[in-house]
A and B are shown apart, each in its own frame.
Chain A
Amino acid sequence: MSNLKLQHLEKIYDNKVQAVYDFDLEVNDGEFIVLVGPSGCGKSTTLRMVAGLEDISKGKLIIDGKDVTQMPPKDRDIAMVFQNYALYGHMTVYENMAFSLMLRKQNKNEIHQKVMAAAEILDLTSQLNKKPAQLSGGQRQRVAMGRAIVRTPKVFLFDEPLSNLDAKLRSATRREILLLHKRLHATMLYVTHDQTEALTLADRIVCMSMGHVQQIGTPLELYDTPANLFVAGFIGLPPMNLFDVEIKNGKAVCADFTVDLTPEEKQLLAAYEGKTVTLGVRPENVVPGGTINVEVNSNENLGQNTLVNGFAGKHKITCKFRDWCNYKYGDNVKVSFNRKHFFDKETTNAIR
């Protein structure tokens, strides 16, 4: 296993379109990094640059202290798992897993041992004589992972590997990937647009938008202390409620409600007195009881909790209550906020 340094990587296509700006990241040995962001944010391009499938326009890529920026993909000792599995349909599972080693003309007995060990890890031993068409989507993805495992590469790359699976299978395969990482203790780079995958799998998350890295941190850091409005809105489901408020005499005031600030918040926002900032409140931080009136629009019972959508005056608001609620359209609920985030209106950065 190995560490990986992505030093100020940039990707500029021939038509001058820039897909990735100044991507700088150091991945430690055995770390699981998830690149997350909406479609077109440059996460897959970054992964493909690491794999060698895209040229690096600027910056350096270093694996285990060795500069591999100009190295062809086959020499980088990297294995990639694709969304569409990329299995050979005419080969059996065993042959698919052994194929890359056969090409390298490795000893057949050693190949066999590696394939059997990978099949054991991935619970594919009974499927080894089957062809990909005879397998389910989850099993096919496990074969694709097995093909990567047998090579014992320095770095594993995953490009949205669960996107083709249904919700139940995705959840099960996600757990398998997590177990696989714990078992192999391999350095992994994983691309997804699904924040649930990012939060559950990652040691650290890289949140991207429009080719720029927005924040790098642990799942808790991104959830708890988002660096800017983009991260605040992207991480968390349902997304954070955002309101424009004016800081006035130790209170956050908008046309529809007024929120008292804690002494710490007052101190934090002292420089913003009389100015407008963005107040962010996660739905789970909206609690029943308080002074803010919410007119209920919909009530969604999810079993363990209830999502209540409504309006605080003209502001749309989503509340996630812990109890089973039975609000009806038009009901009024009084709420308050037990945790608040503030963002600079101009820079969109978090105020800290």
Chain B
Amino acid sequence: MTENSAAVIKRDRLRFTKNKTSSAMILAAIAANALYFVSIYRTDVGNYYYRLFIGASIVYNLVFMLVAFLCSEGVKNYKMGYAYTSIVVGLLQIGRIFYLPREAHETQSTVVGSEHLKVMQDDQFNYVVILLCISAALLVVAGVIGVMKTTTLRKHQAELDKK
């Protein structure tokens, strides 16, 4: 098998195999996000979280999981739109760091006797930021792989159609 023919075979394989790598990465991103979500309210000092954004946060997480799952299925079947969506959702995960975790990390507790504490302690902040970064990285890489593989498959299919 020459190097060139190996490349052709590799491309041709895409016609019959699914993009399981991207799909699995997105599912892992959902898992990381779930870990983030279940630990975010762990140090609820006072009633800091009980504002409007707690509802928005929950809704966003639900929407995120739905969209990410659709992306997982979409990229598995080489749907270009879902690959791009995966990248966008990944970038939004980075954006989230600067909203809830950072704000909670920078806010002093209002509970009497705990004024010296922040709503979110350092260790928890680091933990959730890492989870969001992992989730974001997985989504972006999965999306990029998806775009690359889908483009390759489309070109290959076009070549076959010409023949």
Enumerate chain A interface residues (CB-CB to B < 8 A): 92, 94-95, 108-110, 112-113, 115-116, 128-129
Q: In terms of DSSP, what is the predominant structure of the interface of chain B?
A: helix
Contact of B12 among A92, A95, A110, A112 (CB under 8 A): A112
Is B102 on the interface with A (CB-CB < 8 A)?
Answer: no
Residue in B closest to A94 when the chains form the complex, CB atoms: B16
Interface CB pairs A-B, < 8 A, 24 = A92-B16, A94-B16, A94-B17, A95-B16, A95-B17, A108-B10, A108-B13, A109-B1, A109-B6, A109-B9, A109-B10, A109-B13, A110-B1, A112-B9, A112-B12, A112-B13, A112-B16, A113-B9, A115-B16, A116-B12, A128-B15, A128-B16, A129-B15, A129-B16
Q: How many residues of B are counted as interface, with CB atoms below 8 angstroms from the partner's CB atoms? A: 9
Chain B residues numbered 11-36 whose CB sits less than 8 Å from any CB in chain A: 12-13, 15-17
Enumerate chain B interface residues (CB-CB to A < 8 A): 1, 6, 9-10, 12-13, 15-17
Contacts of A108 in B (CB 8 A): 10, 13
Given A92-B16, A94-B17, A129-B16, 11 extra CB contacts under 8 A: A94-B16, A95-B16, A95-B17, A108-B10, A108-B13, A109-B1, A109-B6, A109-B9, A109-B13, A112-B13, A128-B15
| A94 to B14 Cα, complex, angstroms | 11
Contacts of B1 in A (CB 8 A): 109-110
Closest chain-A Cβ to B114's Cβ sits at a distance in Å of: 54
Contacts of A110 in B (CB 8 A): 1
Closest chain-B Cβ to A90's Cβ sits at a distance in Å of: 12
| A129 to B6 Cα, complex, angstroms | 22
Contacts of A129 in B (CB 8 A): 15-16
| A109 to B1 Cα, complex, angstroms | 9
